[in-house]
Copies of this chain bind each other. A is one copy, B any other.
């Protein structure tokens, strides 16, 4: 993992459709060498997968919210329950004012209410606190 690997990762984050020839030229290597480095980055799991970034609003997901979840018991097994709610994009165990933090996307406030009901039914959940996003300044990939 050297500077060239980091450059390749940065270039692929910006545009993963570019050719290995272009990548190689940008970092000063042949296309074969660039390809080999990217292959190894994938193999080692540094690059998890190639994917597309989607405009969620265009897909009918207009509301973003963060949900702080309080849980009396351990909640170690709540991961599957939360993963079973399709609108939950992220779930983190946190240190602070609650046990778990969720990122949720729904079509509207009404659907958010439905999600909160389902979160409440997950084992160990004793309460929720919801933070609604009014405007997103940015959601970006780190350099």
Residues of A near any B CB (own CB < 8 A): 1, 6, 9, 12-17, 44-56, 58-59, 61, 64, 66, 79, 82-83, 86-87, 89-97, 100-101, 105, 130-143
Contact = CB atoms under 8 A, between A and B. Distances in A.
A-B CB proximity, top 5 nearest: A91-B137, A96-B131, A48-B53, A79-B137, A93-B135
A91 B138 contact: yes
A54 B58 contact: no
A131 B100 CA distance: 10
B90 A54 contact: no
A51 B133 CA distance: 25
Contacts of A101: 66, 131, 133
Contacts of A58: 1, 44-46
A94 B59 contact: no
A137 B92 contact: yes
Contact of A93 (B6, B9, B95, B137): B137
B46 A59 contact: yes
A55 B61 contact: no
A59 B45 CA distance: 11
A48 to B, nearest CB: 4
Contacts of A96: 130-132
B50 A54 contact: no
B133 A50 contact: no
